[in-house]
Chain A
Amino acid sequence: MLIYIIISMSFGIEGGYNIPAVNFNDLKSGAALTIFVNRHYRIADVTFSIGTAFYSGDNTGYSLNSYGLRCGFSKNNWKFSPVIEFGADYVNRKINSAKESGYAFNYIIGLMINFHSNKLRIYPKFYYEGITDFKIQAGFIGAKLGIGYEI
């Protein structure tokens, strides 16, 4: 069973750029990096990932970081595949030496374009990334370039 799980998996990394789209008026832009493992099912490919993002503020002393655990669904064998991801983020914001932190719910809705070459899959991904504490919504639009390898 374990071997079956391993051989049916792929892993990869993706990185990109986010800009604030909803609220977050104090932020400029940010970089995001994710590593993931992916398992193919008949209905969809299920992805588990850990990621981080760093956003700089309009105030040069201000920044926002997030670290997240996510679960996602896509169809990696399709050329154009919708992507849905959701998970929990640990968020901290800093200004000078002062810091606040907390947890938030994160979700991504987007589209990726898959290019396959043997066991390699390269894809650009365009998405809206929402983040909420169930009190207020905020979000980014972003683009990532990802590379995956099937074991």
Chain B
Amino acid sequence: MRFKKAKLLGFVIFLFFLACENHIIERCASDYFPLAQGNWWRYVSNDDTLMVEVEPRDTILHVECFPVSFGGNIEYLAKNSESIAEYVEIVYNFSGQDYTIIEDFIMRIETPLVDGNTWEDSLIDSLNVSGAWIKAKYYINGRITGFAYADDYEGDVYTIELETIETLMFPDTMIIDTSHVTEDYAPNTGLVRFHNEAGEYNLIEYDIQ
């Protein structure tokens, strides 16, 4: 009888052992993009601080989205079942007048986050401006390079690499603007670190509703 009890206890301990140090359910069930009005994050780099704040919901192109202020620059992010989408507008100025060539949402990050996933999306359009065809392309590709447990956020933090290429084609020339950013997302916290051409920014303070 005592042996049976020991076996049962051993089985229970074995189950607990299996589940320890493996946070797959946390990664499945956590919200890595807590976009809600009033949420804010403060980041610091070597010589700069950046305040990111979610403003009241808005609707653009019939898509409900969250205006997110990145140090005063508003980016419109929409959360749907497949991705975090970003509003992209490419405007061409000719003789003092603005012509919108691209205006749409693009998939910025495919969700849910799974290690090793890669995605890409693009927007292409053209417009005739005073007899000349102006073509624009916005391309984004991303990949999840891994995740690691972070004590500071008590959870697995995913690292995402994003490359964006913005191309503007004129009849006789072409302007290409490429940018790279690496972003780290923590469960129920959101963006905790990012690295772009301006430097590395780390989260120092935040408030999630």
B-contacting residues of A (Cβ < 8 Å)? Answer: 23-26, 57-62, 64, 71, 86-88, 91, 93-105, 131-138
Complex partner residue of A134 from B20, B29, B81, CB under 8 angstroms: B20
A-contacting residues of B (Cβ < 8 Å)? Answer: 11, 14-16, 18-20, 22-31, 81-83, 110-112, 114-119, 144, 155
The reply to whether A98 and B16 form a contact with Cβ atoms under 8 Å apart is no
CB-based A-B contact count at 8 angstroms: 107
Minimum CB–CB distance for A97 against chain B, Å: 8
The reply to whether A135 and B28 form a contact with Cβ atoms under 8 Å apart is no
Ordered by A's residue number, 6 sampled pairs between the chains whose C-beta atoms are within 8 Å are A61-B82, A98-B114, A134-B16, A136-B23, A136-B30, A138-B28
The reply to whether A24 and B28 form a contact with Cβ atoms under 8 Å apart is yes
Residues of B within 8 A of A133 (CB): 19, 22-26
The reply to whether A138 and B23 form a contact with Cβ atoms under 8 Å apart is no
A100 and B24 in contact (CB under 8 A), knowing A24-B29, A95-B112, A135-B155? yes
Q: Which 8 A-B pairs have the closest CB atoms?
A: A102-B24, A23-B29, A58-B81, A98-B116, A98-B117, A103-B18, A102-B22, A133-B25
In the complex, the chain A residue whose C-beta lies closest to that of B31 is: A25
The reply to whether A88 and B15 form a contact with Cβ atoms under 8 Å apart is yes
Residues of A within 8 A of B28 (CB): 23-24, 26, 64, 91, 93, 138
